[in-house]
Amino acid sequence: MKRLSSGLCVLALLLAVSLLAPVQTAANDKKPLSYDVSKEVTLNGTVSSVLEKPAQGMIMGSHLLLSTSSGPVDASLASFGLRGKGAAPVASGQQIEVTGIMKTIKDKQVFLVRTVKVGDEVYTIRNEHGVPVSPHGRERASRKTAGEGL
Protein backbone atom coordinates (compact mmCIF):
# COMPACT_ATOMS: atom_id res chain seq x y z
CA MET A 1 0.00 0.00 0.00
CA LYS A 2 2.93 2.30 0.67
CA ARG A 3 3.92 2.03 -2.94
CA LEU A 4 0.40 2.79 -4.06
CA SER A 5 -0.06 5.66 -1.66
CA SER A 6 3.17 7.31 -2.68
CA GLY A 7 2.31 6.76 -6.33
CA LEU A 8 -1.12 8.18 -6.01
CA CYS A 9 0.21 11.13 -4.03
CA VAL A 10 2.60 11.94 -6.84
CA LEU A 11 -0.22 11.60 -9.33
CA ALA A 12 -2.33 13.94 -7.23
CA LEU A 13 0.56 16.41 -7.06
CA LEU A 14 0.94 16.29 -10.81
CA LEU A 15 -2.75 16.93 -11.14
CA ALA A 16 -2.55 19.88 -8.76
CA VAL A 17 0.35 21.34 -10.69
CA SER A 18 -1.55 20.99 -13.91
CA LEU A 19 -4.48 22.80 -12.37
CA LEU A 20 -2.24 25.71 -11.47
CA ALA A 21 -1.19 26.15 -15.07
CA PRO A 22 -2.77 29.03 -17.01
CA VAL A 23 -6.26 28.13 -18.13
CA GLN A 24 -7.50 29.41 -21.45
CA THR A 25 -11.14 28.61 -20.89
CA ALA A 26 -13.56 27.88 -18.09
CA ALA A 27 -13.06 24.71 -16.07
CA ASN A 28 -14.60 21.66 -17.62
CA ASP A 29 -17.84 20.48 -16.17
CA LYS A 30 -17.10 17.65 -13.78
CA LYS A 31 -20.09 15.72 -15.06
CA PRO A 32 -20.31 16.56 -18.73
CA LEU A 33 -23.36 14.47 -19.56
CA SER A 34 -25.36 14.75 -16.35
CA TYR A 35 -28.47 16.83 -16.87
CA ASP A 36 -30.07 18.94 -14.18
CA VAL A 37 -33.43 20.01 -15.50
CA SER A 38 -33.69 22.73 -12.85
CA LYS A 39 -30.86 24.58 -14.57
CA GLU A 40 -32.56 24.78 -17.92
CA VAL A 41 -32.63 27.99 -19.88
CA THR A 42 -34.18 28.89 -23.21
CA LEU A 43 -32.27 30.61 -25.98
CA ASN A 44 -33.45 32.16 -29.22
CA GLY A 45 -31.10 32.27 -32.14
CA THR A 46 -30.51 31.97 -35.81
CA VAL A 47 -29.02 28.79 -37.18
CA SER A 48 -25.72 29.68 -38.76
CA SER A 49 -24.63 26.12 -39.45
CA VAL A 50 -26.03 22.59 -39.27
CA LEU A 51 -23.47 19.89 -38.46
CA GLU A 52 -24.81 16.39 -38.84
CA LYS A 53 -21.47 15.08 -37.60
CA PRO A 54 -19.32 16.77 -34.96
CA ALA A 55 -16.48 19.02 -35.98
CA GLN A 56 -13.11 18.46 -34.37
CA GLY A 57 -13.18 19.29 -30.68
CA MET A 58 -16.92 18.86 -30.33
CA ILE A 59 -18.61 16.12 -28.35
CA MET A 60 -20.17 13.33 -30.40
CA GLY A 61 -23.49 13.73 -32.13
CA SER A 62 -24.99 16.42 -34.34
CA HIS A 63 -24.69 20.13 -33.61
CA LEU A 64 -26.22 23.47 -34.52
CA LEU A 65 -24.17 26.62 -34.49
CA LEU A 66 -26.46 29.39 -33.37
CA SER A 67 -26.12 33.14 -33.45
CA THR A 68 -27.75 34.53 -30.35
CA SER A 69 -27.94 37.93 -28.77
CA SER A 70 -25.20 36.87 -26.34
CA GLY A 71 -22.93 35.46 -29.01
CA PRO A 72 -22.39 32.22 -30.92
CA VAL A 73 -23.57 29.01 -29.27
CA ASP A 74 -22.62 25.41 -30.02
CA ALA A 75 -25.89 23.53 -29.51
CA SER A 76 -25.55 19.76 -29.15
CA LEU A 77 -28.46 17.77 -30.57
CA ALA A 78 -27.02 14.39 -29.48
CA SER A 79 -26.95 11.37 -31.72
CA PHE A 80 -30.47 11.53 -33.07
CA GLY A 81 -31.48 15.18 -33.15
CA LEU A 82 -31.14 15.52 -36.90
CA ARG A 83 -31.63 11.89 -37.74
CA GLY A 84 -34.59 9.69 -38.57
CA LYS A 85 -38.30 10.14 -38.33
CA GLY A 86 -39.42 13.10 -36.27
CA ALA A 87 -36.04 14.78 -36.40
CA ALA A 88 -35.98 18.54 -36.05
CA PRO A 89 -36.17 20.02 -39.57
CA VAL A 90 -33.60 22.69 -39.04
CA ALA A 91 -31.83 24.60 -41.77
CA SER A 92 -29.32 27.38 -41.85
CA GLY A 93 -30.86 30.82 -41.50
CA GLN A 94 -33.84 29.63 -39.50
CA GLN A 95 -34.86 31.30 -36.30
CA ILE A 96 -35.29 28.68 -33.58
CA GLU A 97 -35.75 28.37 -29.82
CA VAL A 98 -33.75 25.83 -27.85
CA THR A 99 -34.19 24.75 -24.26
CA GLY A 100 -31.39 23.04 -22.38
CA ILE A 101 -28.43 23.62 -20.14
CA MET A 102 -25.00 25.12 -20.76
CA LYS A 103 -21.95 22.97 -20.02
CA THR A 104 -18.22 23.34 -20.41
CA ILE A 105 -16.94 20.22 -22.11
CA LYS A 106 -13.56 19.73 -23.72
CA ASP A 107 -12.64 23.29 -22.76
CA LYS A 108 -15.55 24.75 -24.71
CA GLN A 109 -19.03 25.81 -23.85
CA VAL A 110 -21.70 23.60 -25.33
CA PHE A 111 -25.44 23.88 -24.94
CA LEU A 112 -27.05 20.49 -24.36
CA VAL A 113 -30.41 20.83 -26.06
CA ARG A 114 -33.45 19.08 -24.59
CA THR A 115 -36.06 20.60 -26.92
CA VAL A 116 -35.98 22.57 -30.15
CA LYS A 117 -38.86 24.76 -31.19
CA VAL A 118 -39.07 25.34 -34.93
CA GLY A 119 -42.06 27.47 -35.80
CA ASP A 120 -44.84 26.16 -33.62
CA GLU A 121 -43.47 22.62 -33.41
CA VAL A 122 -41.46 21.42 -30.43
CA TYR A 123 -39.04 18.55 -31.00
CA THR A 124 -37.71 16.55 -28.07
CA ILE A 125 -33.99 15.83 -28.32
CA ARG A 126 -33.31 14.53 -24.83
CA ASN A 127 -35.49 13.30 -21.99
CA GLU A 128 -35.66 14.95 -18.58
CA HIS A 129 -32.45 13.14 -17.58
CA GLY A 130 -30.66 14.36 -20.67
CA VAL A 131 -30.66 10.93 -22.30
CA PRO A 132 -30.92 11.22 -26.10
CA VAL A 133 -34.34 10.41 -27.54
CA SER A 134 -34.09 8.16 -30.58
CA PRO A 135 -36.28 8.23 -33.69
CA HIS A 136 -37.71 4.95 -32.43
CA GLY A 137 -38.66 6.66 -29.18
CA ARG A 138 -40.24 9.57 -31.02
CA GLU A 139 -42.25 7.19 -33.13
CA ARG A 140 -43.45 5.23 -30.11
CA ALA A 141 -44.38 8.44 -28.35
CA SER A 142 -46.38 9.60 -31.34
CA ARG A 143 -48.17 6.26 -31.51
CA LYS A 144 -49.07 6.56 -27.84
CA THR A 145 -50.30 10.07 -28.43
CA ALA A 146 -52.42 8.75 -31.24
CA GLY A 147 -53.82 6.15 -28.86
CA GLU A 148 -52.28 3.18 -30.56
CA GLY A 149 -50.36 2.00 -27.53
CA LEU A 150 -47.75 -0.72 -27.52
Partner 1 sequence: MNRKTYASILAFTLMAIVFLTGCSSSSAPPVVGITATSPAATATVTTAYGAFTATVTLDGIANILSPQPAVTFTAPSTGASCTFANGTNTETDTAVSGVATSSVCTANYVPGAFTVSVTTLPAAVASISLTNGGGVYAFSLSGTEIVNGGPNSYALAGSVVIDAAGDLVPNGLSATANVAGEQDYNDAFGFTSTQPGGDIVAPEALALVLTNGQGTLTLTSGNASGLFPNGNATETLGVQFVNNNHALITQFDGTATSSGTMDLVSLPSVPNGSFAFTLSGVDANAYAPIVLGGVFTLSSGGLTAGEYDQNDAGTISPPGGILFPVPPVTVPPTAPIVTASAPDAFGRGTITGTGFVDNGANPYAAALNYYAVGPEALRLIDVDVADSGSGSAFGQGTNATAGAIASLGAPCAGNPSQSCGVFGLISNNFGFLYAAAGYFDITDTVGGAFEGVGDNDEEGSVVGGATPPVISGTVNFPGVDGYGSMVITSGNFQDVETLGVYLTDPTLNLNDPNNTTSGLGGAVVAELDALQGTGVVAQQTATATTAFTGNYAFGSQDFFCNICEFDFVGQGAVTNLSFGTTATGLLNDPVGLFGSGNQQYPGVTFMAAPLPDFYESTTGRYSLFTTNATPNPFVVTVPVPASNPPATTSIPFNVVVYQASGTQLFWVDEDNFSLALGSIEQQGDLSLVPAAKRARAPAKTAAKAKQK
Rounded (5°) CA angle 32-123-51? 60
Specify whether the CB–CB gap between 79 and 132 falls below 8 A.
yes
Q: Of 23, 41, 44, 52, which one interacts with partner 1 (CB under 8 A)?
A: 52
Minimum distance between the CB of residue 119 and partner 1, rounded to whole angstroms?
A: 24
Site for partner 1 in 88-107 (CB under 8 A): 105-106
Minimum distance between the CB of residue 147 and partner 1, rounded to whole angstroms?
A: 15
Q: Which of 94, 61, 93 is nearest to 80 (CA)?
A: 61
Q: Of 20, 24, 27, 30, which one interacts with partner 1 (CB under 8 A)?
A: 30
122 binds partner 1 (CB under 8 A): no
Q: Which of 102, 107, 101 is nearest to 58 (CA)?
A: 107
**Number of C-beta neighbours around residue 102 at 10 A:** 16
Minimum distance between the CB of residue 7 and partner 1, rounded to whole angstroms?
A: 4
Question: Cα separation of 131 and 125, whole Å?
Answer: 8
Q: Which residues bind partner 1 (CB under 8 A)?
A: 1-4, 7-8, 10-12, 14-15, 18, 28, 30-35, 52-54, 56-62, 79-80, 83-84, 105-106, 127-134, 136-137, 140-141, 150
